Structure 1
Amino acid sequence: MELSTLSEKLKNSEYIEQEPFAIAKALAAIYNNSDSQSTSKIQELVLRAMDKYECFGDSKSIIDSLIRELGLFPYLNKESLSIRDMLAVEAHKACIGQEEIYFHGPQAEVYYKLISGQSVVLSAPTSFGKSLIVDALIASKRFNNIVIVVPTISLIDETRRRLSKFSPEFKVITHSLQSKSDKNIFVLTQERVLEEDFVGEVDFFVIDEFYKLSPWADGGNRCSLLNEAFYRLYKKCSHFYMLGPNIQGVAGDFIENVRFEFIKFSFSTVVTEFHDLSSNEKENTLVELCDSIDGQTIVFCSSPARANTAAELIASNISFEAHEDALKLADWLADNYHDDWVLTNALRCGVGIHHARIPRSVSQYIVDLFNAGKIKFLVCTSTLIEGVNTATKNIVCYDNKINRTNIDFFTFNNIAGRSGRMFKHFIGNVFLLAPPPTEQLPYVDIPVYSQGPDTPESLLVNMDEGDLTQQSRDRISSITEQSDLELSTIRNNKTVEPIQQIEFAKVLHINFDNWLPELLWRGYPTYDQLKFICGLIWDYFEGRKIGNRSVFSASQLAFKIGELSDQKPISLLIEEAIAYKPEEQVDVIVSRILDFRRLWANFHFPRLLRTIESIVNSVLKAKGVKSLCDYSAYSIMVENYFFDSSLVALEEYGLPLEVSAKFQALLSSEGDLDKALAALKNMEEAFGLNEVDKSFIARAQVGI
């Protein structure tokens, strides 16, 4: 029987039930006569057979033997194994706490290499189960201090929840506001790894989505920071595991300077079927597809605006009864944000939205509803694809771009790999509403070792001089040999380019006497001093280019920063903005307010304020001025919207500020996150809360 014929028969239950032995026998014959080049095709056929497993009747034993031969041990029925199969399965068993898990063949290969002390860089499909290896390594009790570097804060929360099963033996630390224990699992973004170097000793470290070390994946400041995080961790510990989706290999001097083994598997535990629905009428095609599709579906879009539009399109054209939990969340959003927000309306129609402009705790809640089958459609951007480990039966590629850039084959694979899930969906569907990219996998170049002409100067200046090439020393000589600003100051301001810092220091030297009254303050600034700082940010740190255009001038930035101290609820800010500009769309207003809080207040303003403070103090010291400025208290207050920092940190645990602010007296802990977490964990029935408030609290309590 030919492969194509067999593949078609395996899609039809009636065919299999009519001749189960013949089909099982044909599968075994193809396997026995196959070579290494055709293994992936054989595996696809066996996975299709597993999707129709019950149709094989007495011939299931043949399918079981093929499952074992292919190393798909997690899929074997443990209660009806032959002695031979049982021995094979036992060799692939691991205990994670009270749970017994079974590796498939390639998983076991990677695990045993790592447990023997080998460092591994693993490239494998999304469905491979790369994270399970991390869990098994922790359970081995070989390591006391483990660092896991993840690309997003969303993955911090997800990973923390997964690893909470290792408490109380290990303390899971996600924030520098927490204290360390004897045995720790640090789950951090690259920025937090470098934050005041609070990590300490390291026995083993993991970098998830390691391809982001390469400039082609993220050519901005985060690539530089991730490279420095790897560099600093490797100085402490040479034993590591880097994991990510399919790439061709690792390139450059990293191979010569770091001891590791690169392992690439195309091994998949699900089958992905592609359906080309490319059309000039994408909107109609999307509506028709969603109206007829069976099973939960993720719709990938290029940007938040596109995701909002697609969600509105589905919600307004598909007759689908929303689950009561989605309706309750919609009512909560109407009360705390606005009744006409696109997300509120979408949820009322059973459609979820996930992108960076939605508050983190709300996004997490929506993913939970989707994973629980309470939302059928989840419209998303790359923030879900790259930042959250979720899977679905169907993926719809509505766009083939991220923002305005065409996606490459690597990113396309990452998106498509979200379809299907072990033990739930053996067959995943990818519907293409836009043409896919050309098949070409990239190499990962790691600039901290290659030190090519494109390696960021902000990375080079933070490396030890002995690790720099002569070319790199020459490149940064204008930074290391200048006298306008101390090198230690430049190094401490990791998120700001060195040249930008030096240029500001030069201007500060020139205008020193005139600017000093506006800069020499401690604690809280006057409003004129705040406006002056905002002007510096706007003029010398490219303020007009950051914050996603949520602020249009330096004076508006000062006003909005000053307004934060009023602690107005977001719903009131939205009402005021609508009253000021009634002709503007509600979605535009909500996005701008949320962007300002997330990008300006919580990130850009505090980091640039700290940068200006350090540069001003460096110049003051150089000029012999004994009195220094201190913006730290104000920086912390702005960063936390003038609430206790522990309350805002709880947002990462899934508790919105709208809920935690109701319990300030109980949860505020002067920045001690451990105390706030303990108070949250012990919180009992709270009066005056609606069901969604209580659900947020219950969700946040899980895994503490």
Structure 2
Amino acid sequence: MDIFEECSAINDLLQANEEIEARNRLICLLDTLGKTEQAYTPLLNHLIRESGLFPYLEPETSSWQDRFVYESFKVDIGQDEPVTLHSEQSLVLKHLLDGDDLAVSAPTSFGKSLIIDAYIAIKKPKNVLILVPTIALTDETRRRLSKKFSAEYKIVTTSEVELGEKNILIFPQERAIHYSDKLEQLDLLVVDEFYKASRAFDKERSPALLKAMLKLGEKAAQKYYLAPNIADLNDNPFTKGMTFLRMDFNTVFLEKHEEFKDINKDVQKKNDALLRILGKHETKSLIYAGSYPGVDSVTTLLIDNTDKEDSPLLSDFSAWLSTNYHPNWKLTNLVKRGVGIHTGQLHRSLSQIQVRLFEEEKDGLQTLVSTSSIIEGVNTSAENVIVWSNKKAHLKLDDFTYRNIIGRGGRMFRHFVGKIYILEEPPAAADTQLELTFPDELLADVDDEKYKQELTKEQLAKLLHYKEEMAQIMGDESFERMRNEGALISSDTELITAIAFAIRNDSKLVRALANLYAPSNDYWVWTLCKVLKLVPGGWDASHTKFAEFVRALSGNWTLSIPDLLEQLSEHDVTIEAFFKMERNATFKLTALLNDINVIQKEMTPEYKVDISPFIARLSKAFLPSCVMELEEYGLPRMLAKKIHASGLVNFEDEKLDLHSAINFLREIQPDIIGKVGGLDSFDRYVLDYFFDGIAPQQLRAVEAPAQ
């Protein structure tokens, strides 16, 4: 390639205002030069400046004017050294520093999170709350911000933790709702991936996210909502008064290979194409498999057709999975081949460990096979993205989700060009208008006077009917008191009415609840089956099977996962089913039991039944409180058990909260390897990862100047 000729062509495109095409060709040129380790010429640096890609400038070979721009766009992001923002990042940051409320749509590679860090470092707000879609992203965000701001801020990720003087709170929407009453005011409310507030994109999560946006938005002095690939935003009460910025500024180029045209829906050709693509690259690859059966198909293909890696680290990981989860689990065999699995059902620490291994330059995982969890739950990317399926679960992929998936290709400063291999026909290109509306599931929480204009006639009629029916079942005074206390988790009028109706008409239900805090768990199954009848479908398992799982789970602290699976084998509970049922027990069942408990205490106080201690234990999967929380920080329960058994930490101490446990673990870190028995080499790898994530931030010696 003639570099001067290519620079001339890029310059012509810039002069013709063809900025996207110019930027794409420039990024491809930088990729070529990077592979041959060539220095940038002053001309090339000038084109980088003209394209707004200021972080890519090489100051040493730039003219003084371009060096001046490089320095001028540097900002403090909480590190020892300031970093240079690109032109559009700088524009967004300026809006935020001016106090504007922003809803921003920008590509995955844009660097939206860096702007949050810069805002905190420069403005030094008292309270910032960041809403993230998943627990995995909670931990990733916590790790990033802890390294920069833990000396000045208390980083809060669980709802039991009390506020400090200055706080950065990082929550998924359900926890944020529980915590909102502890907050008097917020300086900044950040909602990451706010498109999930639309029912069209996340039917299950959108009601809770909208509820959190409403409750917290009222307390926030400023709001910053982030999403990719949104063309327009409808008028709605959730983003009222916010400035919508649509940014098409990419920092990497996506090179698309339309393999589906040759494959033509031939399964064998698709399998061959996947193996060929993986075989010719030694770089990292993300495979989007679309669904759990899709993940199963891809991983079976890879086990049957790929060789084991010569990696002691992955061999250790495989042995660790065999001991702590199941020797015949597919993942145990798969990781020996340098392949991991990322789905929303795995234990959080297990997903985190695999992403860490995927980020390893050498000896780690080369490939991750994923459902849509990879675009929802973690900020990882790879040089190669392989779109194996054009489905999301059983539905066809829409263009919005497709672009979000392929946006994982490439990464600033590591892979200028992301290679996208498309093995099934992609959806037609379309602009996405984000529609945010009140869902019926939120009606029980809505002030019908305040939001009268936003509700449909049918919703107003349904809300009126709900109030009348609940007042009739409970009595006006009891119903109003319960509404004002805001103790219900669900906002679904139909579910709440069904619970109240069942309590009024089935006296055995309330008395049965007392079984849940009896010394024996013999009657749990009968009681939980009665409770689960209030939920159609039983969360993908029969009521009896799910109830038996909960009863077995009560031994979670004393028994290993292989022991629990052995106990549950007669109910056909696989390791995959174990993960899913544990999540449903700790989230969905605890929410249902909470609402039953609140309503029955209001309606039948004479029974003096209160199952809140059982609900608290169930929400932690019957593990000691901070053990479950530490698992979110990257310390798996099996390691916590070994540390507890050594006598170094008493995790059963009810006074031991999360932050006390973290501080104590930091103090005893040098003693753990020598005094905790039974640690293998992979246990030590996991401990290193965990301690890296809780390392205390040192105060910076010199404050970097804010620009």
Q: Which one of 604, 619, 634 corresponds to residue 603 of structure 2?
A: 619
Question: Is structure 2 residue 12 aligned with structure 1 residue 24?
Answer: no
Q: Which one of 296, 302, 312 corresponds to residue 324 of structure 1?
A: 312
Give the whole-Å Cα distance in 2 for the aligned partners of 1:121 and 1:340: 47
Q: Which one of 571, 584, 593 corresponds to residue 599 of structure 1?
A: 584
Q: Within 5 Å, which residues of 2 pair with 1:84-483?
A: 84-97=65-78, 98-164=80-146, 165-197=148-180, 198-220=182-204, 222-254=205-237, 258-278=240-260, 279=263, 280-281=266-267, 282-319=270-307, 321-373=309-361, 374-447=364-437, 451=438, 455-459=439-443, 461-463=445-447, 465-469=449-453, 471=457, 472-482=459-469, 483=471
Q: Compared with structure 1, are the counterparts of its residues 179 and 238 closer, same or farther at alpha carbon in structure 2 (3 Å cutoff)?
A: closer
Structure 1 residue runs of 5 or longer lacking an equivalent are 1-15
Amino acid at match of 1:313: L
Q: Compared with structure 1, are the counterparts of its residues 59 and 596 closer, same or farther at alpha carbon in structure 2 (3 Å cutoff)?
A: closer
| Counterpart in the other structure of 2:698 | none
| Counterpart in the other structure of 2:565 | 574
Q: Within 5 Å, which residues of 2 pair with 1:582-661?
A: 589-600=574-585, 602-621=586-605, 625=606, 627-661=607-641
| Counterpart in the other structure of 2:493 | 498
Segment of structure 1 superposing worse, 308-317 or 424-433: 308-317
Give the whole-Å Cα distance in 1 for the aligned partners of 2:568 and 2:386: 35
Give the whole-Å Cα distance in 1 for the aligned partners of 2:126 and 2:625: 29
Query: CA shift at 1:613, angstroms?
Result: 1.3
**Aligned 8 A contact 1:145 1:202 in 2:** yes
**Aligned 8 A contact 2:40 2:61 in 1:** no
Give the whole-Å Cα distance in 2 for the aligned partners of 1:698 and 1:137: 30
**Helix, strand or coil: the match of 2:309?**
coil
Give the whole-Å Cα distance in 1 for the aligned partners of 2:131 and 2:5: 50
**Helix, strand or coil: the match of 1:495?**
coil
Amino acid at match of 1:645: S
| Counterpart in the other structure of 2:700 | none
Give the whole-Å Cα distance in 2 for the aligned partners of 1:213 and 1:517: 38
Amino acid at match of 2:528: C
Q: Which one of 487, 506, 513 corresponds to residue 511 of structure 1?
A: 506
Deviations 1:605-625 (A, max 9, x none): 32222222112112114xxx3
Give the whole-Å Cα distance in 1 for the aligned partners of 2:635 and 2:443: 35
Q: Compared with structure 1, are the counterparts of its residues 58 and 346 closer, same or farther at alpha carbon in structure 2 (3 Å cutoff)?
A: closer
**Aligned 8 A contact 2:286 2:369 in 1:** yes
Give the whole-Å Cα distance in 2 for the aligned partners of 1:74 and 1:254: 37
Q: Compared with structure 1, are the counterparts of its residues 478 and 350 closer, same or farther at alpha carbon in structure 2 (3 Å cutoff)?
A: same
**Aligned 8 A contact 1:521 1:629 in 2:** no
Give the whole-Å Cα distance in 1 for the aligned partners of 2:6 and 2:510: 84
Deviations 1:419-452 (A, max 9, x none): 00100111111101111001112211222xxx4x
Give the whole-Å Cα distance in 1 for the aligned partners of 2:504 and 2:53: 67
Query: CA shift at 1:231, angstroms?
Result: 1.0
Give the whole-Å Cα distance in 2 for the aligned partners of 1:634 and 1:57: 64
Q: Which one of 72, 76, 81 corresponds to residue 62 of structure 2?
A: 81
Aligned length, in residue pairs:
659
**Aligned 8 A contact 2:197 2:436 in 1:** yes
Amino acid at match of 2:240: V
| Counterpart in the other structure of 1:699 | 689
Q: Compared with structure 1, are the counterparts of its residues 185 and 592 closer, same or farther at alpha carbon in structure 2 (3 Å cutoff)?
A: same
Deviations 1:232-254 (A, max 9, x none): 12211241111111111110334
Amino acid at match of 2:452: L
Query: CA shift at 1:70, angstroms?
Result: 0.8
Q: Compared with structure 1, are the counterparts of its residues 316 and 264 closer, same or farther at alpha carbon in structure 2 (3 Å cutoff)?
A: same
Question: Is structure 2 residue 538 aligned with structure 1 residue 538?
Answer: no
Give the whole-Å Cα distance in 2 for the aligned partners of 1:58 and 1:328: 41
Segment of structure 1 superposing worse, 413-422 or 659-668: 659-668
Query: CA shift at 1:677, angstroms?
Result: 1.6
**Helix, strand or coil: the match of 1:340?**
coil
Segment of structure 1 superposing worse, 109-118 or 85-94: 85-94
Query: CA shift at 1:464, angstroms?
Result: 6.7
Give the whole-Å Cα distance in 2 for the aligned partners of 1:288 and 1:391: 21
Query: CA shift at 1:525, angstroms?
Result: 6.7
Give the whole-Å Cα distance in 2 for the aligned partners of 1:304 and 1:270: 30
Give the whole-Å Cα distance in 1 for the aligned partners of 2:498 and 2:433: 36
**Helix, strand or coil: the match of 1:518?**
helix
Segment of structure 1 superposing worse, 661-670 or 387-396: 661-670
Give the whole-Å Cα distance in 1 for the aligned partners of 2:259 and 2:308: 23
**Helix, strand or coil: the match of 2:218?**
helix
Deviations 1:530-552 (A, max 9, x none): 2343122232222x431x33xx3
Give the whole-Å Cα distance in 2 for the aligned partners of 1:682 and 1:462: 48
Q: Compared with structure 1, are the counterparts of its residues 493 and 42 closer, same or farther at alpha carbon in structure 2 (3 Å cutoff)?
A: same
Segment of structure 1 superposing worse, 112-121 or 606-615: 606-615
Q: Compared with structure 1, are the counterparts of its residues 658 and 26 closer, same or farther at alpha carbon in structure 2 (3 Å cutoff)?
A: same
Query: CA shift at 1:315, angstroms?
Result: 3.0
Amino acid at match of 1:531: V
**Aligned 8 A contact 1:210 1:243 in 2:** yes
Give the whole-Å Cα distance in 1 for the aligned partners of 2:188 and 2:235: 24
**Aligned 8 A contact 2:402 2:426 in 1:** yes
Give the whole-Å Cα distance in 2 for the aligned partners of 1:320 and 1:560: 35
Structure 2 length as normaliser, TM-score? Answer: 0.89
**Helix, strand or coil: the match of 1:242?**
strand
- Higher relative contact order, structure no. (Cα contacts within 8 Å, ≥ 6 residues apart): 2
Work out the percentage of aligned pairs sharing the same amino acid.
30
Amino acid at match of 1:537: V
Give the whole-Å Cα distance in 2 for the aligned partners of 1:404 and 1:134: 36
Amino acid at match of 1:181: G
**Helix, strand or coil: the match of 1:566?**
coil
Question: Is structure 2 residue 506 aligned with structure 1 residue 524?
Answer: no
**Aligned 8 A contact 1:20 1:57 in 2:** no
**Aligned 8 A contact 1:290 1:314 in 2:** no
Query: CA shift at 1:57, angstroms?
Result: 6.2
Give the whole-Å Cα distance in 1 for the aligned partners of 2:144 and 2:516: 42
**Helix, strand or coil: the match of 1:236?**
coil
Amino acid at match of 1:660: A
Question: Is structure 2 residue 39 aligned with structure 1 residue 44?
Answer: no
Give the whole-Å Cα distance in 2 for the aligned partners of 1:94 and 1:59: 24
Q: Compared with structure 1, are the counterparts of its residues 564 and 52 closer, same or farther at alpha carbon in structure 2 (3 Å cutoff)?
A: closer
